A and B are shown apart, each in its own frame.
Chain A
Amino acid sequence: MMPLFWIVSRQLAEIAEQMATSKKVITREEWEKRLNDVKIRKEDMNKLVMNFLVTEGYVEVAEKFRMESGTQPDIDLATITDRMAVKKAVQCGNVEDAIEKVNDLNPEILDTNPQIFFHLQQQRLIELIRNGKVEEALEFAQEELAPRGEENQSFLEELERTVSLLAFEDVSNCPVGELLDMSQRLKTASEVNAAILTSQSHEKDPKLPSLLKMLIWAQNQLDEKAAYPRINDLLNATLEDPAV
């Protein structure tokens, strides 16, 4: 049986520790009041949604949203259709078509983005290899890609990686097999999409995901200073009472 002295001093130590690390506690009631005090305008939320639709390239959806909500898109919807056509072409492996379309849109895009141009050419090579056109692939690699590789070390490495696909019988199991994946096409498509948006002086990313990340960050930061109702499940936006 512990002497009373030890029990008490242990309790005091616990209290002392709590006080040292104690954070401000904000009750559910108080927090709900603050949430209610926030002024958010409907037009601003609409703008956020429209910005998302437009950046993701959903033309018809943006058009419908404009009609139903009266929100104006922040860029000309016609330019989205063109951009989406480029993206789709890359996603389907029609690289030549994509390059033509990009140049139609704005010839400066590929001129000022050598890396993207290289990735498009690389994708073209990949498609040739995928379709078993070995001779054509080699010719293309030597004439179009090798000169770029000479200018740039990382291009050269990429080129070598891609060409090495030809060395394998069973491409699905080789170390560079991922180049044949859909994900490779998507990556390039995404790059091109971003470059087009930038050339149109539009931000290449929608704002919404950044705001969600900001929420996570803000909560993490605030955790250091206070105990308050958190939202842990973003999809359901449910408030969870502070752990006291």
Chain B
Amino acid sequence: MNSINRNNGESNNGKSSIFDGLKQDLDLYFLGLSRLGSSKALTDKEEDEEEAPKELNTINSSGGFLVVAPDKLSVKYTSVNLHGHDVGVVQANKPAPVKRLLYYFEIYVKDAGAKGQIAIGFTNEGFKMRRQPGWEVNSCGYHGDDGLLYRGQGKGDAFGPTYTKGDMVGGGINYASQEFFFTKNGAIVGTVCKEKEMKGRLFPTIAVHSQNEEVHVNFGQKKFAFDLKEYEAQERLKQQMTIEKISLPPNISYGLVRSYLLHYGYEDTLNSFDLASKSTIPPIYIAQENGFDEQDIVYALNQRKTLRQLIRNGEIDAAISKLHNWYPQIVQDDKSATCFLLHCQKFIELVRVGALEEAVKYGRIELAKFFGLAGFDDLVQDCVALLAYERPQESSVGYLLEESQRDVVADTVNAMILSTNPNMKDMKGCLQSYLERLLRQLTACSLERRSANGDQGEAFHLHQVLTIGRDMKC
């Protein structure tokens, strides 16, 4: 009369990992990490793959009044204008991209013609192409003949200087401040609020209206007269200054760095860090009472460090051996992502030293069974592909030979060891350091905020923040 064992029967020497029921999710998590370095991951890196305007749209321009040059970068008014409905208007071939801080383009007035009635601005898709930008709703235009800014009605507002032959005039959108801005010959003329009515995609627009007016347009193919990068940096700085004023709990950076080191098992660094914090002036003591429960992460610190070292040195056999000794439950299931990644890495190490025959043998024994398995398949194929190249490090699967790939395996083993801690309450604690969770939250909030703003503006992206240096996005 034995009660039926309700567990899924996985015997882990009595130490059941909290992962028993979540095995599949975990596998996918680790496998996902292992492919972050591949080129495919890089192409879907950011939604910044918006197409930017490159030339003028000859299809919907008000033909009959104007002529667009073959290179689609300049326009001339050929007619004689008689009234307000024979404006020669041209839009760019694509709308202004929105997933960035600013968009900008410039025109050069080659010839002011009879009356200098040139305009630069933005219009939406259904714009009446015989009217000056700004004269109709959902459009705005800075006009050269009177220097006024028109925003959806026949009467313009005082805005800036007039402009004529030889002038470089630019128009832009600032998504952070939701404004249009215009420049003349490299200097800002002014900004104006981009009202909510101007929704939807906006097309950079130019217009000519009297005989022989000729305008050339620059969508960024040539250097702008206006220092856009500097302006962008200034705008970012404004936002940064607001953010800098926010106060943080004391020593929180130290606390997060410390817990990061603990999480990943960087024992030597941690010890050195503790020493350094104490000898700082003033000494830094990280609050432990409300802080993280150190017991959870000091767990198996030395073993995790040892294993990481072995894996980072490519000594996979030694690592597997140690795991069998210390944590057999982790390497017990040969079909788990952990074992899989270890086997892949061993394969990679064999390729690295040129032992290709041995690699093939190893692959047949340990990796073949993963072909066709969802989630595992991609990585197996990439690994095997290494064999095809004389210089695999230069191939599309070269990422496998990088140090970062070893690090992924080390991180996986690290997480699995943490999972054997009977005190560990939730999965996330094993997988992500506090620092990582905060960074994810920051990214998710930033994306949602942008989405709520009609997908306009920049979103936070850690990789870009680090590569660009002092420019910070949010």
Contact = CB atoms under 8 A, between A and B. Distances in A.
Interface stretch (B53-61, B116-124, B182-190, B246-254): B246-254
A207 B466 contact: yes
B256 interface: yes
Contact of A43 (B249, B404, B447): B404
B268 A234 contact: no
B449 A234 contact: no
Interface in B122-168: none
A88 B269 CA distance: 22
A39 B462 CA distance: 9
A196 to B, nearest CB: 17
A203 interface: yes
A35 B441 contact: yes
Contacts of A218: 442, 445-446, 449, 460, 474
Interface string B294-319: 00000000000100110010000000
A49 B257 contact: yes
A219 B460 CA distance: 13
Interface size range of chain A in the complex: 35 or more
Interface stretch (B208-216, B325-333, B361-369, B431-439): B431-439
Given A222-B445, A231-B437, A235-B256, A42 B404 contact: yes
Given A214-B243, A226-B452, A68 B440 contact: no
B449 A45 contact: no
A222 B449 contact: yes
Contacts of A174: none
A61 B272 CA distance: 5
B448 A236 contact: no
Contacts of B41: 39
A210 B438 contact: no
A143 to B, nearest CB: 30
Contacts of A70: 312, 403, 407
Contacts of A58: 272-273, 276
B45 interface: yes
B82 interface: no
A164 to B, nearest CB: 27
Given A44-B463, A65-B269, A215-B445, A235 B255 contact: yes
Interface of A: 24, 26, 31, 34-36, 38-45, 47-49, 51-53, 58, 60-61, 64-65, 67-70, 88, 91, 182, 186, 203, 206-219, 221-222, 225-226, 228, 231, 234-237, 239
18 contacts: A24-B452, A35-B440, A36-B29, A43-B407, A45-B435, A48-B462, A65-B266, A67-B268, A69-B407, A207-B472, A209-B248, A209-B253, A211-B439, A211-B465, A214-B472, A218-B446, A221-B445, A235-B255
Interface of B: 29, 33, 36-37, 41, 45, 240, 242-244, 246, 248-249, 252-253, 255-257, 260-261, 264, 266-269, 272-273, 275-276, 281-282, 287, 290-292, 305, 308-309, 312, 403-404, 407-408, 411, 433-449, 452, 460, 462-463, 465-466, 469-470, 472, 474
